[in-house]
Amino acid sequence: MSQEYTLSSTATADTSANAPLLQIRDLEVGFKTQRGLVPAVRGVDLTLHAGQTLAIVGESGSGKSTTAQAIINLLPGAGQVTGGQILFEGKDLTKLSSAAMQDVRGREIGYVPQDPMSNLNPVWSIGFQVEEAIKANGIAQGRDARKRTIEVLKEAGLSDAEDRLKQFPHQFSGGMRQRVLIGIGLSSRPKLLIADEPTSALDVTVQRTILDHLETLTRDYGTSVLFITHDLGLAVERAEQLVVMYKGKVVEAGPSAEILANPLHPYTQRLVAAAPSLASRRIQSARRPETTDQLDISSVGSADDRLIARADARESGTHQDLIQVTNVSKVYNIRKGGFKTDQLKAVDDVSFAIPKGTTMALVGESGSGKSTVAKLVLQLESITSGSITFDNRDVAGLRGKELLNFRRRVQPVFQDPYGSLDPMYSVGKTIAEPLVAHGVGDRASRQARVRELLDQVALPASTVNRYPNELSGGQRQRIAIARALALKPDVIVLDEAVSALDVLVQGQILNLITDLQAELGLTYLFITHDLAVVRLVADSVCVMQKGRIVESASTDDVFDNPREAYTQKLLEAIPGAHFQFGR
Amino acid sequence: MPSNTAPSAGHYVADLEETPVGAIDQVDSSQKARSTWSDAWDSMRGRPLFWISAVLIVIIVAVAAFPNLFSHTDPARGCLLPDSNGGPEAGHIFGFTRQGCDVYARVVYGAQASLTVGLLATVIATLVGLVIGALSGYYGGAFDAIASRIGDIFLAIPTVLGAIVLMSVLPVRDPWTVALVLSVFAWPQVARITRGAVLSARNADYVTASIALGVSRFRILVRHVVPNAIAPVIVVATTSLGTFIVAEATLSFLGIGLPPSVMSWGNDIGQARVSVATAPMVLFYPAAALSLTVLSFLMLGDVVRDALDPKARARR
């Protein structure tokens, strides 16, 4: 890219007094593989001024994290900077020796990694790890280091810091661990903090408090922040400047509110159109014979027609509760050293019903018991009390043939598209597995059905011989959906089925399941932590908290008039909840 | 749709020609389909160590199967005492043993017994360990508790000590009995590794998915769990083949392995011991053959481990 641009929000030109803190010029990063050097970042320019916050957004594989890692020279083994400059306060970081770079890292540029679960060493106490960072950066030594450690943890928002010094990472929740990592990142008052998806692994409400806290700290210290994120809402809410990356290149850059209200590059337009927000409406089936995988989230015009049609269908008497969950509880016995056991009530007196042909969303944060409900409905765990009926038959205690029959009609799609497919099975074998297990058809008819299913989930027939490790997360999830559809079930339980996917792919999969619902009359139990997605697919919503359902209503009621404080808090915590995306 | 107002000064948009927008999430059909096994094969194929060990193993197996193709001298006959501990001469490049037998011929014919014991012991120990380990890892409960304790007991006995005791009770001493005795002490290790691999594969999401699809428990074990747990077992089997050959040699050297009538490297080493000071080469050749064989299998095991290591496998 030859065009020079500035992200300065002020109109003043670059004077020496107002030189940018970080300036990346034409950066190129490649990864060495057996097939030669594969470029990951291809000519990226960006400028960040002191005190500013900038977000790089993009899907996985866009090069956003690689760019951040290149700045602090933390590229994974095979990666190397192959061209361009990274000017930090005027000095080129790509030219520094590793010893000189070590001084910059931590002391001048702080880093908050993505996964708070794996980025603290489980065998050392929290205090030791914070102190280590403080000593390594030469901020304080000896007794002062200990004092500073306590200060850092206090700043990070741990009020009882002295007591917590001796605790170990497993005694901290995900949010608290991320606070510690932010504390370490900011401990030496760096001029720049790089936060690589700092809250992606956390619940929305925790995410909100962490980001609020981070904002306060960096504002107080005058630290510039470089966010790496896939979440447009988070970017517009937390960063004044935005850089959109796609396939290793910058496709659009500028003030974030302006870009997201008025996206000009087709890729940004796509991203903005697919970003679920509170303003979204339910997707309607857009399946036409010639366009099978069109992204149709943006067209909201005929939503009312669809709602009227749905209401008509309901009144015409076809409405019937296919699944009824009544006063269901699930208690786990947890071993607590020796012979003592503790009881954990994972699901507490939960009741709901799903009418045939509709989607009910079960929403909650981690530990709310929503996935346990999925397991209970799927008969993967037995219920402690209460009853679950499917098609007016009690499913508890189904055995042998009856259980097999139930499994044939109620199929699951799980969260992790990397884990739910056997890596040793080809795609064709995976999709045919339920047919084989239930003894449906012969070899030839099964093969025909597999091809038909691949077509239904919009994958080419040539995928049959491929293995899961060759496919992307979205493609794997399509395979999982095809496998679930193989036996022509009535109900599909989607347990966080789109949570691990990039927003565009997520949009595609949501379209797909909506189309399949219209085409095959499927009933969905849609389990998710993401309220914004719920609005796109669900007819009714149950909000779970600590094993109980706290609110249960139609989707529009929950979003427009949430009754419970907890629901309101969840809605408020969605990043960029009130931002009007340009569509 | 976005309006067509011009962007403000700070708003940069890339040239559309330079950054074309592709289809979302398209299947890359440019490359041919790859299974885990073909991935492993590709990884092994590129390593010289694999080819070196493979060629050596092929030669050793060929020697063991058709020793008469590699030596014109029949080692059982034609041992002449005047040749005792004689040096190399035309037609007898490795010289003669104390009994005046041709060393080269004995090394060639000895391969069969050593390799048979190694292969048999590996197959028996692996099969027994695999079945017991898989069942106890998958079903757990009482079977697991009992099988694991029995395995621990066998692991606690030093292999050579146990083998000496067992071999001295057995009425027959041939490659089969030696292999059986060795596998008695080797299966618990395979069972342990299998059990661990099965325990982690058992909790994989694809197993839960299969249960929910209505696949039977046993079928899941055979079709999903074992294939995903087999890689470490194959690695252990490849490396243990070498150690079984060594163990056979040890037992034969001590005089309680194969009987002296069976030609094996262990027996030859044992017999050469007495004349090691005067004719060290008589000891050297069977020992070198043994080392080369063991080394080949260890190298192959190394390459196989690297190829099957899940961390080394590309996850795109």
Q: Are the Cβ atoms of B14 and A251 closer than 8 angstroms?
A: yes
What would the pLDDT profile of B272-303 be if each residue is shown by its tens digit?
887 777 778 888 888 899 899 989 988 888 88
Strand partners, A91: A88
What would the pLDDT profile of A295-339 be if each residue is shown by its tens digit?
444 444 444 555 555 555 544 445 688 999 999 999 888 776 667
Residue B298 lies in a domain: yes
* Block residue for tokens 């961390």: B311
Q: What is the pLDDT of residue B179?
A: 92
Candidate ranges A29-33, A345-349, B132-136, B157-161; pick with highest mean pLDDT: B132-136
Q: Are the Cβ atoms of B214 and A434 closer than 8 angstroms?
A: yes
> B residues 44-83 near A, CB within 8 Å?
46
Candidate ranges B17-21, B107-111, B188-192; pick with highest mean pLDDT: B188-192
pLDDT at position B4 over 60: no
Q: Which residues of B touch A293 (CB under 8 A)?
A: 24
Considering just the CA atoms, what is the radius of gyration of chain A in Å? 26
Are the C-beta atoms of A516 and A548 separated by less than 8 Å? Answer: no
**Domains of chain A, earliest start first:** 1-10+18-108+194-273 (3.40.50.300), 116-187 (no CATH), 303-425+489-573 (3.40.50.300)
Q: Which residues of A touch B43 (CB under 8 A)?
A: none
Find the CB nearest B36 among A437, A462, A467.
Answer: A467
Q: What is the pLDDT of residue B273?
A: 80
> B residues 294-313 near A, CB within 8 Å?
313
Residue B51 lies in a domain: no
Q: Are the Cβ atoms of B25 and A472 closer than 8 angstroms?
A: yes
Average pLDDT over residues B106-135: 92
Residue B248 lies in a domain: yes
Average pLDDT over residues B96-119: 84
Residue B119 lies in a domain: yes
Q: What is the pLDDT of residue A14?
A: 43
| Interface with B, mutate which of A60, A470, A493 (most B CBs under 10 A) | A470
CATH code, domain with B93 = 1.10.3720.10
| Interface with A, mutate which of B38, B205, B221, B309 (most A CBs under 10 A) | B205
Q: Which of residues A567 and B98 earns the better pLDDT score?
A: A567
Q: Are the Cβ atoms of A469 and B36 closer than 8 angstroms?
A: yes
Closest by alpha carbon to A371, among A530, A496, A490?
A496
Per DSSP, the three-state class of B24 is coil
Q: What is the pLDDT of residue A319?
A: 62
How many domains does chain B divide into?
1
The DSSP letter of residue B30 is S
B2 to chain A, any CB pair closer than 8 A? The answer is: yes
Domain residue limits at B299: 59-308
Are the C-beta atoms of A387 and A396 separated by less than 8 Å? Answer: yes
Q: Which residues of A touch B217 (CB under 8 A)?
A: none
Q: Are the Cβ atoms of B13 and A264 closer than 8 angstroms?
A: yes
Residue B52 lies in a domain: no
Confidence of residue B232 (pLDDT cuts 50, 70, 90): confident
User: How many Å separate Cα B14 from the centre of its chain?
Assistant: 56
CA distance A153 to chain B (A): 35
pLDDT at position B193 over 90: yes
Q: What is the pLDDT of residue B74?
A: 73
Which residue stretches of chain A have pLDDT < 50? Answer: 1-16, 287-303, 314-317
Are the C-beta atoms of A207 and A174 separated by less than 8 Å? Answer: no
Q: Which of residues A11 and B236 earns the better pLDDT score?
A: B236
Give the number of beta-carbon pairs within 8 Å between A and B: 168
The pLDDT > 90 percentage for chain B reads: 26
Q: Which residues of B touch A264 (CB under 8 A)?
A: 2, 7, 11, 13
| Interface with B, mutate which of A4, A12, A295, A466 (most B CBs under 10 A) | A466
B261 to chain A, any CB pair closer than 8 A? The answer is: no
Which uninterrupted H or E stretch holds A535?
helix A531-537
Half-sphere exposure at residue A267, Cβ-oriented, CA atoms within 13 angstroms: 26
* Tokens representing residue B188 in the block: 């618990």
Q: What is the pLDDT of residue A310?
A: 52
The DSSP letter of residue A503 is H
Confidence of residue B44 (pLDDT cuts 50, 70, 90): confident
Q: Which residues of B touch A425 (CB under 8 A)?
A: 224
Q: What is the pLDDT of residue B304?
A: 84
CA distance A248 to chain B (A): 10
Distance (Å, rounded) from C-alpha A556 to C-alpha B52? 69
- Exposed / middle / buried, residue A290 (Cβ in 10 Å: 0-12, 13-18, 19+): exposed
Q: What is the pLDDT of residue A194?
A: 93
Q: What is the pLDDT of residue B1?
A: 40
Q: What is the pLDDT of residue B33?
A: 66
Q: Are the Cβ atoms of A423 and B12 closer than 8 angstroms?
A: no
Q: What is the pTM for the complete model shown? A: 0.79
Q: What is the pLDDT of residue A581?
A: 77
- C-alpha dihedral sign at B114, B117, B119, B125: negative
Find the CB nearest A249 among B14, B34, B205.
Answer: B14
Find the CB nearest B209 among A251, A420, A469.
Answer: A420
Per DSSP, the three-state class of B92 is strand
Residue B22 lies in a domain: no
| Interface with A, mutate which of B1, B15, B27 (most A CBs under 10 A) | B27
- C-alpha dihedral sign at A120, A121, A123, A127: negative
